[in-house]
């Protein structure tokens, strides 16, 4: 049976920040596109590129946090097993 883990405050905060970056970035990109006269320009391309980098960075942070939590839970289970083994060994 697989254990379900609860989301941490950091993960919830990361989710909120990720959604804000997506929404605010979209509106800024749209604003620059309109300001440039509906044409592709270097300013527009730089804005889109930076926005995509921020989105990728947030996704990588979320993946790293999930991996870290998984490793910590696995280590906690191993430590509990070692503790139980040591306690059983002393009682013999």
Domain boundaries, the chain: 10-91
Distance CA 58, CA 21 (A): 9
Give the pLDDT of residue 2: 65
Whether the per-residue pLDDT at 4 is higher than 80: the answer is no
CA distance 32 to 36: 6
**Cα 75–78–83 angle (5° rounding)?**
125
Q: Are 32 and 43 in contact (CB under 8 A)?
A: yes
Which of the pair, 35 or 1, is modelled with greater confidence?
35
pLDDT bucket at 92, cuts 50 / 70 / 90: low
Q: What is the pLDDT of residue 73?
A: 86
pTM score, whole prediction: 0.75
Closest alpha carbon to 47 in 13, 18, 55, 14: 55
Taking only the tens place, the pLDDT of each residue in 7-53 is 889 889 999 999 999 999 999 899 888 988 888 888 888 889 999 99
């Amino acid at each position: 049976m697989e254990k379900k883990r609860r989301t941490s405050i950091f993960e919830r905060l990361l989710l909120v920040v990720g959604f804000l970056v997506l929404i605010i970035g979209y509106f800024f990109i749209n604003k620059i596109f309109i300001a440039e006269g509906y044409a592709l320009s270097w300013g527009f391309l730089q804005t889109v590129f930076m926005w995509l980098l921020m989105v990728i960075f947030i996704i990588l942070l979320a993946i790293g946090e999930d991996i870290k939590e998984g490793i910590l839970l696995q280590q906690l289970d191993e430590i509990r097993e070692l503790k139980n083994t040591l306690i059983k060994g002393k009682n013999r």
